[in-house]
């Protein structure tokens, strides 16, 4: 073979390969064709083997021609594979069209009870202020519910609490204040605690349920003052309602605080009572061994349902215990 015939053969081979590539319609056909030209036993390799028959001085040029063909065919192969896969993608895309407006498969949504949600919102604020969340038993004894809180036997203040008594001589706590006493008995001052929980009073009408939730807060430390109490509650209410609220304090009476106060907020023009609070009565502090020469304290208590009703615009207290899923799902 001389160079001219080689050139001719190569041209024919190239034309043939390209025609074959073009007529292929699957990836495997293309690969077969590729192998038949460029594989180990492919035609290009066969030609390479015949290079030996060329005279020394022409062999180099012949090799260059062969390599040129090889790279041309590689190029053609690449092109055809790209175009084929893009054709396949094109086809897939034109066949696959879904209605994306159909509903997505969302996970079912559960809900936290509005009372729990409100408790969490309130406790979150106080925890950030350094309060520990404490709890205590709901089945209490008279000592913790009344006596240790400076409510003596037969005192008219007991009328403020319609108590449920239990057949073991205990009672259902009427407020979360017993947790104060239990905590102060357990640990030494200073204290910052917040005590959420269920309380029970023998009362049932449109605005009362025999069980409801209270949160009690207590601060006992050096220099705890009424002005701090006012400031703290003001900050808390602003945090809870997410905006400034008009707040007023007025004198009230709780046996376990002195001075005692009630806090009202301005709600739709009217004053609405939301909290009871005051400086912890010295008798209470002395009873649990707090040195009143060093420490003073303040405490506050609020009704969770009432706060939730205000914040979430819930008109009926009883909705909290009806547990209608249509109500619950909104929280």
Partner 1 sequence: MQFSKNWLKEFIDINLSTEEICDQLTMAGLEVDGYEHHKSKITGNDSIIKLDITPNRGDGFSVLGVARELSVINNLKFNLPKVVMIDNSFKDEIEVKVCEQGPVYYGRTLKNFSINSKTLPLIAERLQLSDQKLIDPVVDITNYILLELGQPLHAFDRDKLQGNIFVRPAKNKEALTLLDDQEISLDRDCLVIADSKKAVAFAGIMGGKSSAVTDTTSSIFLESAFFNPSAIRGRARRFGFQTDASIRFERGVDYAIQKLALDRASSLLDQTVGGTFSNIVSASLKNKLPKQSKIKVSLERANKVLGTNISKQQAMKYLKGLGMNPTEKNNIISVTSPSWRFDIDIEADLIEELARLEGYDSLPQTSLNPVYKKILKAPEVSLSETLVSKGFNEIITYSFISPEEHKLYGLGTSPLEVENPISQNMTVMRTNLISGLLNTCLYNHNHGQENQRLFEIGNTFTLKNSKKVKENKTIGGLLQGSAVINNWKEQSREISFYDLKGVVLDLLSQFKVDYSSSDSSVDFLHPGMSSSILLNNKEVGFMGSLHPKFLENLGFKQDIFVFSFEVENLKDKSLTSFKQFSKFPSTSRDLAFLISKETSAASIQKIIESSAGDFFKGIKIFDVYQGKGIPEDKKSIALSVSWQSMEQTLVDSDIDNVIEKIVNSVKDELDGELRV
Residue 286: CA count within 13 A, CB half-sphere: 6
Restricted to residues 268-297, the positions that interact with partner 1 (CB under 8 A) are 279, 281-282, 296
Which C-beta is closer to partner 1: that of 51 or that of 157? 157
With contact defined as beta carbons under 8 Å apart, do 45 and 13 qualify?
no
With contact defined as beta carbons under 8 Å apart, do 205 and 317 qualify?
no
Restricted to residues 89-148, the positions that interact with partner 1 (CB under 8 A) are 102-103, 105-113, 115-116, 120, 127-133, 137-139
Which C-beta is closer to partner 1: that of 86 or that of 204? 204
Distance CA 161, CA 173 (A): 10
Which C-beta is closer to partner 1: that of 51 or that of 319? 319
Which letter, b or e, does each residue of 283-295 get, where b requires 16 or more Cβ atoms within 10 Å of its Cβ? ebbebbebeeeeb
Q: Give, to the nearest 10 degrees, the angle between helix 226-241 and helix 304-312.
A: 40
Distance CA 200, CA 215 (A): 13
Q: Which stretch binds partner 1 (CB under 8 A): 8-16, 68-76, 308-316, 317-325?
A: 317-325
Of 248, 289, 312, 318, the residue at the interface with partner 1 (CB under 8 A) is: 248
CA distances from 211 to 45, 201, 205, 306 (A): 93, 6, 12, 13
Residues 147-176, mask of contacts with partner 1 (x by CB under 8 A): ------xxxxxxxx---xxxxxxx-x----
With contact defined as beta carbons under 8 Å apart, do 263 and 254 qualify?
no
Binding residues for partner 1, rule CB under 8 A, total 83
Which C-beta is closer to partner 1: that of 12 or that of 235? 235
Minimum distance from residue 144 beta carbon to partner 1 (Å) = 13
Q: How many CB atoms lie within 10 A of CB 55?
A: 9
Which C-beta is closer to partner 1: that of 39 or that of 170? 170
Minimum distance from residue 93 beta carbon to partner 1 (Å) = 22
Which C-beta is closer to partner 1: that of 86 or that of 111? 111
Restricted to residues 185-244, the positions that interact with partner 1 (CB under 8 A) are 192, 198, 200, 202-204, 210-211, 219, 223, 225-228, 230-232, 234-235
């Amino acid at each position: 073979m001389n160079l001219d015939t080689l050139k001719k053969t190569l041209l024919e081979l190239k034309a043939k390969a390209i025609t074959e590539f073009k007529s292929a319609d699957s990836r495997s056909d293309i690969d077969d064709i590729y192998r038949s030209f460029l594989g180990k036993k492919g035609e290009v390799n066969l030609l390479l083997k015949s290079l030996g028959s060329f005279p020394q001085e022409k062999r180099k040029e012949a090799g260059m021609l062969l390599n040129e063909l090889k790279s041309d065919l590689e190029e053609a192969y690449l092109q055809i594979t790209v175009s084929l896969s893009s054709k396949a993608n094109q086809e897939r895309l034109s066949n696959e069209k879904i209605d994306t407006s159909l509903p997505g498969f969302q996970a079912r949504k559960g809900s936290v009870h509005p009372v729990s949600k409100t408790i969490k919102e309130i406790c979150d604020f106080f925890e950030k202020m350094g309060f520990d969340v404490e709890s205590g038993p709901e089945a209490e004894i008279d000592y913790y519910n009344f006596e240790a809180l400076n409510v003596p036997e037969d005192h008219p203040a007991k009328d403020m609490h319609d108590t449920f008594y239990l057949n073991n001589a205990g009672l259902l706590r009427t407020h979360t204040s017993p947790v104060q006493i239990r905590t102060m008995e357990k640990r030494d001052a200073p204290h910052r605690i917040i005590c959420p929980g269920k309380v029970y009073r023998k009362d049932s009408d449109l605005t009362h349920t025999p069980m409801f939730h209270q949160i009690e807060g207590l601060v006992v430390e050096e220099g705890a003052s009424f002005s701090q109490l006012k400031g703290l509650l003001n900050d808390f209410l602003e945090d809870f309602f997410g905006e400034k609220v008009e707040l007023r304090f007025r004198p009230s009476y709780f046996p376990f605080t002195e001075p005692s106060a009630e806090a009202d907020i301005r709600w739709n023009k009217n004053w609405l009572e939301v909290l009871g609070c005051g400086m912890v009565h010295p008798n209470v502090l002395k009873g649990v061994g707090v040195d009143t020469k060093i420490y003073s304290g303040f405490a506050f208590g609020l009704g969770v349902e009432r706060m939730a009703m205000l914040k979430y615009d819930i008109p009926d207290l009883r909705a909290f215990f009806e547990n209608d899923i249509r109500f619950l799902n909104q929280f």
